[in-house]
Amino acid sequence: MSFPFAEFEKKWQNYWLEHKTFKTPEDFSLPKYYVLDMFPYPSGAGLHVGHPEGYTATDIVARYKRMNGFNVLHPMGWDAFGLPAERYAMQTGVHPAITTEQNVNTFRRQLQALGFSYDWDREINTTMPDYHRWTQFIFLKIFNSWYDPEQKKARPISELPVPTGLSDREREDFINRHRLAYLADIPVNWCAQLGTVLANEEVDEWVSKGYTVERRPMRQWLLRITAYAERLLDDLQYVDWPAGTLELQKNWIGKSEGAEVQFKIKGGGDVLTVFTTRPDTLFGVTFMVLAPEHPLVEKITTSEQQAAVVEYIRQTALKTDLDRQLDAGKGIKSGVFTGAYALHPVTDGEIPIYIADYVLMGYGTGAVMAVPGHDERDYGFAQQYGLPVITVVQPADGSLVTGCFSGEGVSVNSEFISGLPTAAAKEKMIAWLEEKKLGCRRVTYKLRDWLFSRQRYWGEPIPISFDEDGFFYPEDENSLPLTLPPSENFMPAATGESPLANLTDWVYHSRGGKKLRRETNTMPQWAGSCWYYLRFIDPHNPNELVARDKEAYWMKDGVDLYIGGAEHAVLHLLYARFWHKVLYDLGYVSSVEPFRKLVHQGIILGEDGGKMSKSRGNVINPDDVVREYGADSFRLFEMFMGPLEQMKPWSSRGIEGVHRFLAKVWRLCIDKENCFNEALKKPPAEKTERLLHQTIKKVGEDIERLSFNTAISQMMIFINEIDSTTGLGEFGVQAFLQILSPFAPHLAEELWQRAGYEPSIALTSWPKYDATKIIDNEVEIVFQVNGKVRGRALLPLNAGDEILRQAALTDEGVVRNLAGKTPKKIIVVKNKIV
């Protein structure tokens, strides 16, 4: 049983586009509602069924809010730089701009075929020069800023206090060391066969294909996100996000409070500084471990240990930090003795120094004081290398532990802190270390600065040049965009640099008589998505990234609702929050946080309950579903499958079910002569009217709660109760189509027009339910005799005591049970029981 969706869905899509029905008015007197989707990467595969899940949810909310008098901003665009287009170019020679344009066209067509109410005049594409110009502009703002730890904010680099008496070179270096975007030699994942550096998340893929990836230091751009660690953590209090996502952000930032402790190295004046979260365990240290990359290693290694140490360092270079952590987690320990000893700061005892890859150079100080009695990793290492274990903390309940006890308790065998509970022992030890100048309190974060350069062609060029002495020459803001030069060769340069390095005409240029070389790295794909929500507010502004007044209006308290995949719970959100805070410090945005409310849609599994994938053959193509059942059925089904945030499998029977529901709505409204069924406009019976008002109420409240599946159920209950002879009244006909319209906009729009009303239904006001009509005006009263139910009756709501009493006394069951006797006492509970 179907209905002619194919005849009208396209018609309404065209109508909305032609009439710009969903153009966002620039009317700042209305309350605003900014509802945003995570914009897609337009891949060659086209839309998959996961995309429309979040997009339908936001579309329902956008349509609902519009009908409730909000000025709604609901835009769409393309996160279009990225690796797949570049890989394809490497294989085929087709320029990524061409593939990207084709893919964008497919995505746009597919989204428009689903009837989403986007304001298409605001479409943006991160690869377009008029967009990436502003991405480069923001990069330059970051480059030209430093973080003032006193004011706790970014400030223009021109305000950086620079010591006097420095040479030009020293001055330049000093300034560059303070910029929020800086160059540094850092270990990267270098793949010689590919001739390129890989991002951490790419490493596994290539290693599993048999490529070798090694860590090697390279000169890279980094963004100083670590300066914002505390604010990124603190400001989470202002957002309404899923608890799991907040937790992931916190863990990623990874704040640890503890102390730095200094150990002298025996013979020679060197000092080894470690970071520890457990200064209370100082008396339990039995060895020290340095990261193999630690700068002291070369200096302290004795000649006997030289060969073993060098070999170990070589092996470590083949492992990524992630591998090292995973191995440590699995209890796989390896390391080598350096031959050197440290001296205990209190007891002066000699402590052997090892190197081991479970200690990472990038965290803390890259060195640990090992306490095998109380740290699992140290314990494993001590077991393997036969090192002593000393117990210095006991459980507070006095119970005995053997092996390693990593919990908190009471200090023992620890001189001046013995007997103290862990928290107090830590404090006392820190105070002692600070007094003796042997250490200090220290907070560290797991968060690392953001590796921002990629050896790629298809990304935003970093707008910086260098002269022969390595001095920086940023592009003039007014000369932006710095566009990608045309190219036909997308292979990396032989040196491992980006393909841009091959384009010498572009790379070498001169400015004011100076010969300059351009940066050939490009920005990572994250860059464009760090600020796109701002550009949607003012997408065609040629003079500013976003006009101040528009930003102040739309971004008050941030984006009101942001829906997207949980895979972006960490990096995208963290990077975007970081840029937003820099822009906030520099006065470009007015809200502290960009995204106030965030929701992740659940993954849609294949019909077999497994992850959708080509190899399993369980992939559902949205185009096929739309062809067979129509866009409305597709939208409705994606929302009816279950709670938005839950993972759920696709179901062919399910889509047929919602399709039948829509077909029934069609048949109720359109008669055999293909005319609107005017009988529906007859005045409604009381029961119908009650259900109608209940339905209006529930659907509205459910949309507010993003509980779309229950809203749909309620509409189904309503439709089940009516047939083609039921009167709904004119209000009822309109109201039902209106509440259906955010879910099934094409059908609602078509029936609205056929019922004789002017399009667009999307621009009408959400119907108001009448609270007095919702309440049932009869209630069931229970009659009891001596505590046993003997009868029931439907009586008017709020009927007085006397009416209830009379009804009870004349009830058949009650009369029979009283058997002629008069009750001693009659108790009446209003609307409930006699």
By C-beta, is 380 or 657 nearer to ligand ANZ? 380
Under the criterion CB under 6 A, does residue 384 sit at the interface with ligand ANZ? no
Among 114, 218, 227, 359, binds ligand ANZ (CB under 6 A): 359
By C-beta, is 368 or 691 nearer to ligand ANZ? 368
Q: Which two tokens stand for residue 736?
A: 């039902």
3-class DSSP state for residue 658? helix
Q: How far is the CB of 282 from ligand ANZ (least distance, A)?
A: 8
Q: Which amino acid appears at position 600 of this protein?
A: H
Among 22, 363, 533, 634, binds ligand ANZ (CB under 6 A): 363
Q: Which amino acid appears at position 694 of this protein?
A: Q
Residue pair 599/562 in contact by the 8 Å Cβ criterion: yes
Under the criterion CB under 6 A, does residue 360 sit at the interface with ligand ANZ? yes
By C-beta, is 278 or 693 nearer to ligand ANZ? 278
By C-beta, is 281 or 338 nearer to ligand ANZ? 281
Cα distance between residue 370 and residue 372, in whole Å: 6
By C-beta, is 366 or 767 nearer to ligand ANZ? 366
DSSP conformation letters of 378-425: HHHHHHHHT------EE-TT-----S---S--EE-S-GGGTT-BHHHH
Residue pair 409/393 in contact by the 8 Å Cβ criterion: yes
By C-beta, is 68 or 256 nearer to ligand ANZ? 256
Among 9, 86, 357, 375, binds ligand ANZ (CB under 6 A): 375
Q: How far is the CB of 218 from ligand ANZ (least distance, A)?
A: 21
Q: What are phi and psi of 665, to 5 degrees?
A: -60, -45
State which H helix or E strand residue 440 sits in: strand 439-445
Among 96, 335, 345, 366, binds ligand ANZ (CB under 6 A): 366
Q: How far is the CB of 256 from ligand ANZ (least distance, A)?
A: 3
Q: How far is the CB of 98 from ligand ANZ (least distance, A)?
A: 47
Which of 121, 118, 119, 82 has the alpha carbon at shortest distance from 103? 82
By C-beta, is 360 or 818 nearer to ligand ANZ? 360
Q: How far is the CB of 281 from ligand ANZ (least distance, A)?
A: 4
Side-chain-side CA neighbours of 255 within 13 Å: the count stands at: 13
Residue pair 357/293 in contact by the 8 Å Cβ criterion: no
Under the criterion CB under 6 A, does residue 368 sit at the interface with ligand ANZ? yes
| Number of C-beta neighbours around residue 649 at 10 A | 17
Q: How far is the CB of 616 from ligand ANZ (least distance, A)?
A: 38
By C-beta, is 232 or 482 nearer to ligand ANZ? 232
Q: Which two tokens stand for residue 90?
A: 């490497």
By C-beta, is 141 or 374 nearer to ligand ANZ? 374
Among 114, 218, 369, 582, binds ligand ANZ (CB under 6 A): 369
Residue pair 115/745 in contact by the 8 Å Cβ criterion: yes
Q: How far is the CB of 392 from ligand ANZ (least distance, A)?
A: 8
Of 243-251, 359-367, 506-514, 628-636, the window that binds ligand ANZ (rule: CB under 6 A) is 359-367
Q: Which amino acid appears at position 546 of this protein?
A: V
Under the criterion CB under 6 A, does residue 374 sit at the interface with ligand ANZ? yes
Which of 771, 686, 792 has the alpha carbon at shortest distance from 729? 686
Q: How far is the CB of 364 from ligand ANZ (least distance, A)?
A: 3
By C-beta, is 290 or 644 nearer to ligand ANZ? 290
Of 337-345, 362-370, 583-591, 731-739, the window that binds ligand ANZ (rule: CB under 6 A) is 362-370
- Subset of 398-457 contacting ligand ANZ (CB under 6 A): 406
Q: What are phi and psi of 220, to 5 degrees?
A: -135, 155
Cα distance between residue 680 and residue 726, in whole Å: 6
Q: How far is the CB of 417 from ligand ANZ (least distance, A)?
A: 14
By C-beta, is 357 or 593 nearer to ligand ANZ? 357
By C-beta, is 143 or 275 nearer to ligand ANZ? 275
Among 75, 115, 345, 364, binds ligand ANZ (CB under 6 A): 364
By C-beta, is 439 or 732 nearer to ligand ANZ? 439
Of 148-156, 364-372, 690-698, 745-753, the window that binds ligand ANZ (rule: CB under 6 A) is 364-372
Of 178-186, 295-303, 355-363, 717-725, the window that binds ligand ANZ (rule: CB under 6 A) is 355-363
3-class DSSP state for residue 686? helix
By C-beta, is 276 or 521 nearer to ligand ANZ? 276
Q: How far is the CB of 442 from ligand ANZ (least distance, A)?
A: 10
Contacts 24+ apart (CB under 8 A), 699-706: 699/739, 700/64, 700/739, 700/766, 700/769, 703/60, 703/61, 703/64, 703/742, 706/57, 706/61, 706/599, 706/644
Q: Which amino acid appears at position 167 of this protein?
A: S
Q: Which two tokens stand for residue 643?
A: 């709670």
Q: How far is the CB of 340 from ligand ANZ (least distance, A)?
A: 18
Cα distance between residue 303 and residue 287, in whole Å: 20
SS (H, E, C) 201-231: HHHHHHHHCCCCCEEEEEEEEEECHHHHHHH
Strand order in the sheet with 71-73: 71-73, 32-37, 561-563, 598-599
Q: How far is the CB of 365 from ligand ANZ (least distance, A)?
A: 7
Under the criterion CB under 6 A, does residue 334 sit at the interface with ligand ANZ? no
Cα distance between residue 775 and residue 771, in whole Å: 7
- Subset of 246-305 contacting ligand ANZ (CB under 6 A): 256, 275-278, 281, 291
Under the criterion CB under 6 A, does residue 226 sit at the interface with ligand ANZ? no
Q: How far is the CB of 328 from ligand ANZ (least distance, A)?
A: 8
Under the criterion CB under 6 A, does residue 140 sit at the interface with ligand ANZ? no
By C-beta, is 142 or 285 nearer to ligand ANZ? 285
Contacts 24+ apart (CB under 8 A), 780-784: 781/807, 781/808, 781/831, 781/832, 781/833, 781/834, 782/832, 782/833, 782/834, 783/807, 783/808, 783/811, 783/813, 783/814, 783/833, 783/834, 784/833, 784/834
Q: How far is the CB of 176 from ligand ANZ (least distance, A)?
A: 26
Do β-strands 367-370 and 287-290 pair in parallel, antiparallel, or remain unpaired?
A: antiparallel
By C-beta, is 2 or 273 nearer to ligand ANZ? 273
Cα distance between residue 24 and residue 118, in whole Å: 9
Cα distance between residue 50 and residue 565, in whole Å: 9
By C-beta, is 334 or 406 nearer to ligand ANZ? 406
Under the criterion CB under 6 A, does residue 371 sit at the interface with ligand ANZ? yes
Q: How far is the CB of 371 from ligand ANZ (least distance, A)?
A: 4
Q: How far is the CB of 158 from ligand ANZ (least distance, A)?
A: 36
Q: What are phi and psi of 728, to 5 degrees?
A: -115, -15
State which H helix or E strand residue 433 sits in: helix 422-435
Of 102-110, 360-368, 643-651, 728-736, the window that binds ligand ANZ (rule: CB under 6 A) is 360-368
Q: Write the binding mask 700 to 719 for ligand ANZ: x where contact by CB under 6 A, - elsewhere.
A: --------------------
**Inter-CA distances, 330 with 254, 326, 358, 727, Å:** 21, 6, 11, 70
Residues touching ligand ANZ, count (CB under 6 A): 18
The residues of the shown chain that bind ligand ANZ, judged by CB under 6 A, are 256, 275-278, 281, 291, 359-360, 363-364, 366, 368-369, 371, 374-375, 406
